[in-house]
Amino acid sequence: MSTPTSPVPLWINNQPILTTSTFPVIQASTGQTVQHACSASATDATNAASSSWTAFQSWRDSTHVERRDLILRVADYFASNLDDFVACQILETSCTKEWAKNNVNGSISYLREIAAQVSSVTGTIPPIEKPRTLGFVFKEPIGPVLCIAPWNAALILATRGIASAIAVGCTVVFKASEICPKTHAGIVKAFVDSGCPAGVLNQLQTKREDAAEVTEALIAHQAMRKVEFIGSAAVGRVIGQVAAKYLKPVVMELGGKCPAIVLDDADVAEAARQCALGAVMHHGQICFSTERIIVLEGIARRFQELLVEQMQGLEEVAGSAVSDSIARHAEDVVKECGDKTIVGGVDGTAKSPSLKPTIVLNPEPSERIFDEETFGPSASLYVVKDDAAAIELANRSSYGLNATVWTKDMSRFMKIARQLEYGQVHANTISIYTSPTGSQGGVKGSGFGRQNGKWGLNEFVVDKFVSCTPYLLSFPNTLPPGGRKPCLLGGGGAGNSFSVTISSSPFERKDRMWYESPAADEESSFLAARACAAAEGRGYEFACEGLAKTRGNMRFMSGLQPGRQPQATPTPDSTDMIMKVDAPCPGGC
The catalytic site residues sit at 253, 287
DSSP assignment of 59-114 equals HTTS-HHHHHHHHHHHHHHHHHTHHHHHHHHHHHH---HHHHHHHHHHHHHHHHHH
Q: In what order do the strands lie in the sheet with 201-204?
A: 15-17, 10-12, 201-204, 172-175, 145-148, 226-230, 250-253, 447-448
- Determine contact, residues 21/39, Cβ cutoff 8 Å: yes
Orientation angle between helical segments 97-117 and 82-93, nearest 10 degrees: 130
Rg, the chain, Cα only = 33
Q: How far apart are CA 349 and CA 346, in angstroms?
A: 9
Q: What is the DSSP letter of 570?
A: -
C-alpha torsion angle, residues 93, 98, 101, 105 (rounded to 10): -130
From residue 560, how far is each of 183, 502, 512, 514, 568 by CA, in Å? 67, 10, 5, 8, 14
Amino acid (one-letter) located at 521: D
Return all residues near 351 (Cβ < 8 A) that are at least 6 apart: none
Q: Is residue 340 within 8 Å of residue 311, measured between CB atoms?
A: no
DSSP secondary structure, 298-363, as one string: GGHHHHHHHHHHHHTT-HHHH---SSHHHHHHHHHHHHTTGGGEEEEE--TT-SSS--EEEEEES-
361, HSE (Cβ side, Cα atoms, 13 Å)? 14
